[in-house]
Structure 1
Amino acid sequence: MDAGTGRAGVDRPSPSPGDRPTVGVEEEYLLLDPESGLPLPRVDAVRELAGLHPAIDHEELQNELLQAQVEVATPVCHDLEEVGGHLLRLRHALASAAEAEGCRLAACGTAPYAPAAPPLIVDAPRYHSIRKVVSRLADEAMINGMHVHVAVPDPRTGVEVLNRLRPWLPVLTALSANSPIWYGSDTGYASWRTIVFGRWPISGIPPHFADAADYESRIDHLLAAELIRDRGQLYWQARLSAKFPTVEVRAMDVQLRADEAVMLAGLVRALVASATRDAAAGRRSDPRTPESLEGAAWHAARYGLDGTLHDPASGLARPAAEIVRGMLDHLGPVLDEMGDTRAVAPLVHRLLAEGNGAGRQRRYLAEQGRAGLITMIAAESAAS
């Protein structure tokens, strides 16, 4: 989850129209006991030790809501090779620090095992305030997402992009699904994180906005009505940054493998670039009905890449592999132009052939049990 406002990829100005937009990634991880797989509240010690690494900037390591979680934020990146390099650097430093502190770094969308007692909240006023407001929801916040920031030239364009991203968000959820196990059992869902996070206020797929003024007026109302305390509590699957010129896409589970995170970052950037061009050309966005998109989002979280997904254009169900290949065809020219095809297309095809993180977690749990699952999660999370 995300209890803050997001910082990845946002410390430089946005590019001029027509340039390749910059991109940044945030990832959330759990700290797990290597034997039991239970979350361990050791974030302060792990952050402090990782921060001593000469290749790590303290600003890149951030707290999350729980003491058993840690978040990283890459600098602004101009290409996907940069994204991959930063994610590997950050994962390696944190994995080494976690091991030194008697735990393991876990890039899984949910804590596969959890104690009966509520998890400890990070000792900071913001997090205590959130815990007081959301109550029991905070106890179930052992969920980890991946957030991709892509630069946009201005808020007007940003809102146009959000409108056009809405039907693609379920496809991103299905591709990234990596959270099938919860409290020691298979939930039957590919992305249980999506379901848990969907219980939070102002979450799910964002509404369709008339324009940038409509976006601002709706948020102003939420603030005036005291339904949110700040814009960091807009938990939509895609939103505009409150501080920086980016669209932030938040529909994805954190990825076991860093190369799959890079692939998703490339898909998101291509979707944003394509939507930006459509808006500039005056092509209208399709204001798909909220019930259709909410149903598609639930379906994607439930089944992932198994079975069907819903076509972003028609809204009708089609084989998941067909939808994903259609996405690649749609984004092919943009990916080629940005030089991202080699970092994206082969990984998408590998995912279709081998399964996403949800499938791999299920296989390891079935074949090797609890110990095998925890070992696999830790190994893939820190692998190059």
Structure 2
Amino acid sequence: MQSVLACLQIVWTHSRGKLIGILACVCMTAIFSLVKISKLPPLVPFLYRGFFAAQVLLLITIYSCGYDGVRQIQKNWKLLFLRSGFDSAAAALFYSSLAYFPLTEIGFLMQTQTAFTMIVAFIILREKPSLFQILCAFGAMVGAILVIQPPVLGFPSKSTTAAQSDFEANLRFYMGCAVITVALLMFACGGTIMRILSTSGQIHWATTAMVQAAFCIVFAVIGLVATGDAHVLFFICEPEKKVAIISIALLSCILQMCFFFCLKYEKASMLILVTIQVLFMPIGDLIVYGKLPDFNLFHFSGFLLISVSILSLFIAKHLAIVAKQREADEKRKNNSVKLDGEPTGSNHSEKEENVYEESTQKTSET
């Protein structure tokens, strides 16, 4: 029994970021499935999700941080507000995209997040991607085109009913594409800022999630007023819809906690989270519809191309990080030997060791 516990402890220590990322994928799929099942305008459960989550997270913040939670917000308010604004807008758009695509398609389209993250990193951090990274990102984007099959490239019209004209159907389809594209860009910006917050050690996860939940309420209200669905908020009487909304709120709290610790413990956790998500989204479609949507050969080709591109990028990045860490370990061992006549553990050796650790950490974070 003790050996089993020791083995589990080792697995948790070395793979907790990945395990938390998998749990986040399960929560996200469950949330999206409940939104579909509730048959409400997507922004309605999104608003209630933010409202209930903000209250729960406020209690957790008070219990965990006390008045220090206010100081944390005051000290990090710029990054905190930027992250909350980007992530809240992205989440609202992701919820809205549920009205345009099946869960399986959304799951694969979310994998193109890597390409958008590379774009954001190049613009904000001036990080130049390698040729291999560019090719992988291009492969993922081509796969996304094969998945959504835009009529402008000669694919069939997206009409779903006989009463709906091709123009109306195609317009709705392109609106959905615009919604999910902007959501992916905003999510890339929010994830970059969240990485800085989670590794700083200066703010509690519940505080960041609470502020983000408050921003979600604002974006949901704006969206409902703009779409004319605000009146639905006051006419939810069915018990099953109330249960779905409460479940969405609770799962959202767990999801926020998973996001924070996943980014804290796992350097490449966002790639893992995006890659694993495609395994759960088809399960959501089976729960909602009782069967998978009708897919043709182009869909499956796009699914395969996205998966290969993103997995190749993740594996290459992982191997590069491991190589850098191995090189840093070897240099640290060499620094333990006397350098220039200085004894082991001297200030010169410590400075060299810190330089190698900082360079390795920067490589891992990028």
Task: Report TM bin, short chain.
Answer: under 0.3
Which of the pair is proportionally richer in helix? 2
TM score, norm. by length of structure 2: 0.26
TM-score (norm 1): 0.26
More strand by share: 1
The structure with the larger Rg is 2
